[in-house]
Amino acid sequence: MSTIAFLGLGNMGGPMAKNLVNAGHTVHGFDLSAAAIAAAEANGVNVVAGGIEAVADADVVITMLPSGKAVLDCYAQILPGTKTGALLIDSSTISVDDARTINQQAADHGFAQIDAPVSGGIKGADAGTLAFMVGGTDEAFLAAQGVLEPMAGKVIHCGAAGSGQAAKVCNNMVLAVQQIAIGEAFVLAEKLGLEAQALFDVITGATGNCWSVHTNCPVPGPVPTSPANNEFKPGFATALMNKDLGLAMAAVESTGSTAPLGEHAATLYADFAQENGAKDFSAIIETLR
């Protein structure tokens, strides 16, 4: 069992740290929020006074923070005090460029580091079924396996440093476009007099099938657990989709890529997020009616 520093004990990091404690690891945690600290303490995390205290004797350092800037600031603070030989894992969703910068800074201090963003949301974090997309060397990936396992349903090594974040932004750009396309189809069906259940039955057995309809169906009825049945309570909040599309658009720009549908989806979600950030992102259907 390892001693793990866990920095960022929020909606995702809190339950992830809990699963590490339950697996028998010793977890030294820190967060800026008193509520997050109290919840983590109740889950068996040894809460300490700051990041430096958390990393002092840790074999593994996990960060689960809101932004690239937060991770950069955190690494600047902790790298000089991290134990020789420790493995650093950043599971925050940040830009590919920031992930590569952070990896290089860790290497400059002599540390192996991986980017390991996740999908699966708060439910997946709680259940220990997150999908981890990992960027880093083969050695670092292998070293991380045992630590990721109690938090993971699936762990995929995507390539060198930054590849985990690259996979995450590509996946979420697809997801955004699909959720809009499925919303458009259900609104068109309504206007054509086609029952939502009939369209659902056809799409889910045909070539248009995808997670945005079979699990996250944006109209009430066909999938009783989808957010559309519960006033669009997330789920995956529009604010987070908007953040991820911002990262995708930064990657499109920095690589000179062409992504007309992704760009349009990013514009639609940026507008929608202004008033509806707390709703599930499938609520974008409301703007299409």
Q: How far is the CB of 195 from ligand NAD (least distance, A)?
A: 32
Structure-token pair, residue 186: 């259900």
CB 50 within 8 A of CB 7: no
- Candidates 51, 136, 218, 262: give the one binding ligand NAD (CB under 6 A): 51
What are residue 130's phi and psi, to 5 degrees? -65, 150
Residue 56 carries which side chain, given as an amino acid letter?
A
Element containing residue 113 per DSSP (H, E): strand 112-115
CB of 82 closer than 8 Å to CB of 58:
yes
Q: Tell whether residue 280 is a contact of ligand NAD (CB under 6 A).
A: no
Among 58, 74, 133, 155, binds ligand NAD (CB under 6 A): 74
Binding of ligand NAD by 10 (CB under 6 A): yes
CB nearer to ligand NAD: pick between 102 and 185: 102
Residues 48, 53, 121, 160: which binds ligand NAD (CB under 6 A)?
121
Apex 54 CA angle, 52 and 58, nearest 5: 110
| Residue 64 engages ligand NAD in binding (rule: CB under 6 A) | yes
Could you tell me if 241 and 232 are in contact, meaning their C-beta atoms sit under 8 angstroms apart? no
> How many residues in the shown chain lie near ligand NAD by CB under 6 A?
27
Q: Is 43 in the site for ligand NAD (CB under 6 A)?
A: no
Q: Tell me: does residue 8 bind ligand NAD (CB under 6 A).
A: yes
The set of residues, in sequence order, having a beta carbon less than 8 Å from that of 78 and lying 6+ positions away, is: 5, 7, 51, 52, 54, 55, 61
Q: Does 92 bind ligand NAD (CB under 6 A)?
A: yes
Position of tokens 């290497």? 107
Six-digit token pair at 185?
């189809």
- Residue 18 among the catalytic residues: no
Q: Does 11 bind ligand NAD (CB under 6 A)?
A: yes
Select which of 18, 168, 243, 279 is catalytic.
Answer: 168
Positions touching ligand NAD (CB under 6 A) are 7-13, 30-33, 36, 51, 64-66, 70, 74, 92-93, 118-119, 121-122, 236, 240, 243
User: Catalytic residue numbers?
Assistant: 168
